[in-house]
């Protein structure tokens, strides 16, 4: 009974992550949503494995963890290189849109 409730809670967390993945305003939000979905999937698989007293799918947990970690690191590095390439200022405005850069162009 408790395992079914836990699997339902993991499913609800995955649905919340899916909503954030589809609606999320930025790429960082979508990356975090993918992490939430993967962790929820891993939790549901591990609870199901404990309920069945079966270790068949535990290697799948390792594969999902490796893929999730690799994807998160790759996406984070992409965000950092994009941010440094655009050189976003503290106010969030791009340098091309500030008054100083307009005066320098004229």
Residue 3 CA to residue 6 CA, distance in Å, equals: 5
Domains of the chain (ranges, CATH numbers) = 2-105 (1.10.287)
pTM above 0.85, yes or no: no
Largest CA distance in the chain: 73
For residues 82 and 27, give the distance between their C-alpha atoms in angstroms, rounded to a whole number. Answer: 11
Full pLDDT tens readout for the chain, 106 residues: 899 999 999 999 999 999 999 998 888 889 999 999 999 999 999 999 999 999 888 899 999 999 999 999 998 888 888 777 776 555 555 555 455 555 555 5
């Amino acid at each position: 009974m408790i395992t079914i409730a836990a699997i339902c809670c993991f499913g609800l967390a995955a649905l919340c992550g899916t909503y954030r993945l589809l609606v999320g305003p930025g790429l960082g939000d979508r990356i975090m949503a993918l992490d939430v979905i993967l962790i929820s999937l891993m939790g549901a698989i591990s609870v199901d494995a404990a309920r069945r007293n079966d270790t068949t799918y535990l290697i799948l947990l390792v594969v999902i963890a490796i893929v999730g970690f690799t994807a998160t690191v790759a996406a984070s590095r992409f965000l950092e290189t994009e941010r440094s390439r655009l050189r976003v200022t503290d106010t969030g405005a791009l340098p091309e849109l500030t008054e100083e850069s307009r005066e320098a162009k004229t």
